[in-house]
């Protein structure tokens, strides 16, 4: 079964990439990095599935199913008036919304 807090729907097709660097500019979590010939997928687990990279890729080298993962959990919690510190998204260190620099939605590092 798909665990949206440990996995994500991000698909990257480097053979399509034209190295426009838009994904590196719009991703709020640094999932992509600038490479020599193509963008590099360097932090897949940081993807919160917001869809910014896919929407800005002119050659459809990136696909992501928006509305799942921690991004959806954050939106859902906000709509329900809940605080993300209650771990309602299920995030933890190493999850899609946590990194060494950015604590998870549960406040862990």
- The predicted-structure confidence for 15-63, as pLDDT tens digits, reads as follows 999 999 999 999 999 999 999 999 999 999 899 888 999 999 999 999 9
pLDDT of res. 55: 93
Nearest to 66 by CA among 78, 58, 74: 74
Radius of gyration (C-alpha) of the chain in whole angstroms: 14
DSSP state, 8?
Answer: -
Rounded to two decimals, the pTM is 0.60
Give the integer Cα–Cα distance in Å for 15 and 78: 38
């Amino acid at each position: 079964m798909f665990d949206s807090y440990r996995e994500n729907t991000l698909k990257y097709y480097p053979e399509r990439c034209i190295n426009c660097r838009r994904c590196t500019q719009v991703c709020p979590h640094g999932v992509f990095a600038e490479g020599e010939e193509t963008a590099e997928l360097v932090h897949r687990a940081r993807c919160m599935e917001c869809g910014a990279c896919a929407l800005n890729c002119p050659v459809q080298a990136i696909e992501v199913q928006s509305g799942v993962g921690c991004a959806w959990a954050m939106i859902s919690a906000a709509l329900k008036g809940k605080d993300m510190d209650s771990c309602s998204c299920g995030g933890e260190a190493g999850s899609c919304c946590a990194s060494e620099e950015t604590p998870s939605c549960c406040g862990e590092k």
